[in-house]
């Protein structure tokens, strides 16, 4: 029985000659092939031969593997093989890849470059070419970059002084109402229309 236990029993414990761990004899083949930390392996990236427990260090950012890990150089946090960094930084996997804003109007285009993950906020709040509605209520939409010029010099809803201000009319009214206000024949007013200008020209009677 002693001889059986020491030399023949399939459940006897033996020492792995590589890692010196205690291993049950019946699983020694499996241990040698796929579990022993000192087994010989080839790096699956560069095919260099080494011992299994060196593989992690070899493939790490500080390791010697030609395809070692590298953290994205643009800062997205993804780890890729250093040999695949160039492809990563232009792929949709990388939220920090450079993109160009494609907003434009008749007069030009934004063309600003930025990290892809900041484009939505840029286009929603900051892009000079984003479309905005006139805040004065004229129902026009336009690029943000021309809004100030529109509301100060072009919008039909902007407030302007009466053209007869120089002759004494103190009225201020919406640009679209000026014509009605100063017209020679003061027609009966519809609701919401301005009063006839007291300083308008009228035919001599």
Q: Which residues bind Zn ion (CB under 5 A)?
A: 9, 16, 18-19, 36, 43, 45-46, 65, 72, 74, 76, 78, 94, 101, 103, 110, 112, 127, 134, 136, 138, 155, 162, 164, 169, 171, 197
DSSP assignment of 122-153: IIIII-TTSEEE-TTS---EEEGGGHHHIIII
CB of 48 vs Zn ion, minimal distance in Å: 5
CB closer to Zn ion, 142 vs 190: 142
Q: Which is nearer to Zn ion, 134 or 177 (CB)?
A: 134
11 vs 205, beta carbon nearer Zn ion = 11
Nearer to Zn ion, 76 or 204 (CB): 76
Nearer to Zn ion, 3 or 190 (CB): 3
* Residues β-bridged to residue 41: 50
Sign, Cα dihedral of 84, 89, 91, 93: positive
Nearest-approach distance from CB 112 to Zn ion, in angstroms: 5
Q: How far apart are the first and last CA of the chain?
A: 142
- Measured from the CB of residue 119, what is the shortest distance to Zn ion in angstroms? 8
Q: Which two tokens stand for residue 162?
A: 């009466």
Helix (H, G, I), strand (E, B) or coil at 39: coil
Smallest gap from Cβ 168 to Zn ion, in A, equals 9
Let me know if 94 is exposed, middle or buried by CB neighbors in 10 A (0-12, 13-18, 19+). Answer: buried
CB of 114 to Zn ion, least distance (A): 8
Question: Please, which residues have CB within 8 angstroms of residue 166's CB and are 6 or more apart in sequence?
Answer: none
């Amino acid at each position: 029985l002693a001889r059986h236990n020491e030399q023949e029993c399939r459940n006897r414990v033996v020492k792995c000659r590589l890692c010196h761990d205690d291993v049950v004899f019946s699983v020694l083949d499996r241990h040698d092939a796929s579990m022993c930390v000192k087994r010989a392996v080839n790096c699956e990236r560069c095919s260099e031969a080494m011992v299994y427990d060196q593989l992690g260090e070899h493939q790490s950012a500080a390791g010697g593997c030609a395809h070692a890990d590298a953290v994205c150089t643009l800062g997205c946090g993804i780890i890729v093989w250093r040999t695949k960094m160039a492809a990563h930084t232009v792929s949709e996997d990388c939220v920090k890849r450079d993109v160009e804003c494609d907003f434009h109007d008749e007069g030009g285009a934004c063309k600003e470059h930025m990290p892809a993950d900041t484009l939505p906020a840029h286009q929603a709040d900051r892009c000079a070419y984003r479309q905005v509605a006139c805040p004065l209520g004229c129902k026009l939409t336009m690029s943000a970059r021309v809004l100030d010029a529109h509301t100060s010099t072009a919008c039909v809803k902007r407030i302007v002084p009466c053209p007869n201000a120089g002759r004494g009319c103190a009225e201020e009214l919406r640009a679209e109402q000026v014509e009605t206000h100063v017209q020679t024949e003061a027609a009966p007013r519809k609701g919401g229309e301005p009063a006839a200008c007291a300083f308008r020209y009228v035919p001599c009677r």
